[in-house]
Structure 1
């Protein structure tokens, strides 16, 4: 059952739910309502050989739900943070965690919008965007740090720490790489690179390029209507300017934004498969997934 603060307050009117400020405390089942109907191309990964399901992550001001998938065999396993799209930790993000777990990772996706709104249940894309744009980078960084700490206590090897993310989560990959210098590597899927500063997002990836120490692979779409060619070229130039020669950006010329989202019309099977192959190779080549000697 999904628990939303307003519903609980109606049952227990004497409870002070505002103190914690969490709207979503349990992950939803299924796909985000904004992106229905789900396409026939949708991939479903089983849990055979895995331990998978919802967990609760202690954070600075309470707990947030997360989806975790990892091999059933004893660890410790390399840790991979999986950062959601603007649609929340819905079935596609859970499936991505299972796909990575099949490759040997403790893959975990925290619900970073849990304080702001139930984006999985929203049906208006404008409401979704307005909600996620209120998510402060500072809070996201803290929540991801807390997720890493949880993984380290639950059969994860945080010395082999990676991150991947999609859409807004792709932007978070770049930002977290600048924040956490213990990160080994990251893969950003079509994440925004530039933007107008706001209170929640005072800087963007191009602004923090010089603080990124880990090698990041960016996977971008040539037909993206929001992340333009000049944005990509600006980021490439910033990386070179600041000496980050290990990071790379690959652009798929015939792909649209969301080309890995197999549940949406934007899905491009060939580019998604190539991107996943590059993603796994990048992580392993940069110390995320390699077994310790």
Structure 2
């Protein structure tokens, strides 16, 4: 299926978020999918991932969640990001990442993205799907919690700190979720330990949430990102199968 990608601006309560939009090139509305970036931000690789989802029959929006600090590209990234050799990059994006995870900020921005979907002639009426990576996994879960009436499915891949000892930890609000969830955890990820995964699973089960939680053996944090040194082709292929299966169940294209 041929897809068409453009840049769009999304009005928010705090300004204007630039975003990448891609959809089947057939002049018809399709179910919406919100794709949340990882820590490195919106870049060609993430746009290619969005295009792949669009090819399956969806209208996909990839917002720049760092928009308060500027439009994409905020920082210059190498063609292949060596995660173990990019201290300068982390020094720049670290504060942006922290600011982007404040629960009230996530909620306000999600409201703006969902409003855009509701108003777009490219999107069918009804709930949407959400997927996210690293930072985006946290945002995906937060969006499902904050907008249970608008999110039918949410996927979270190599997410970090989905469980913490903070009073606003996402797992404590599992009872608000109505979406079907999927989690693809990396088994070599210190930001989401086996103990945290178990605690998240217990909270979701107790809340009656429909979910599937899988640990990808041999995978490290960031295993889906082909433009980084953490990429794992086997784990990435498995992630695509899980994500598209979830979307097909919850939001038939």
Category of TM-score, reference length = shorter chain: 0.7 to 0.9
Structure with greater strand percent: 2
1:178 aligned onto 2:125 = no
Unaligned runs of 5+ in 1: 1-47
Bigger relative contact order (CA 8 A; separation at least 6): 2
1:94 aligned onto 2:47 = yes
Cα distance in structure 2, aligned partners of 1:158 and 1:269: 35
| Structure 1 residue 124: Cα displacement | 2.9
CA contact (8 A) 1:53 1:67 kept: yes
1:144 aligned onto 2:144 = no
The TM-score normalised by the length of structure 1 is 0.76
Aligned to 2:163: 194
Secondary structure in 2 aligned to 1:53?
strand
CA contact (8 A) 1:148 1:158 kept: no
The TM-score normalised by the length of structure 2 is 0.87
1:121 aligned onto 2:82 = no
Cα distance in structure 2, aligned partners of 1:232 and 1:224: 11
Change (3 A) 1:64 1:103: same
CA contact (8 A) 1:87 1:128 kept: yes
**CA RMSD of the aligned region, Å?**
1.8
Aligned to 1:106: 59
Aligned to 2:80: none
Unaligned runs of 5+ in 2: 77-87
The correspondence of residues 1-293 of structure 1 with structure 2, limited to 5 A, is 49-116=2-69, 120-121=74-75, 123-135=88-100, 136-154=102-120, 155-181=122-148, 182-192=150-160, 193-195=162-164, 197=166, 203-244=168-209, 246-286=210-250, 288=251, 290-291=252-253
CA contact (8 A) 2:10 2:112 kept: yes
CA contact (8 A) 2:129 2:247 kept: yes
Number of aligned residue pairs: give it: 237
Structure with greater helix percent: 2
| Structure 1 residue 160: Cα displacement | 4.0
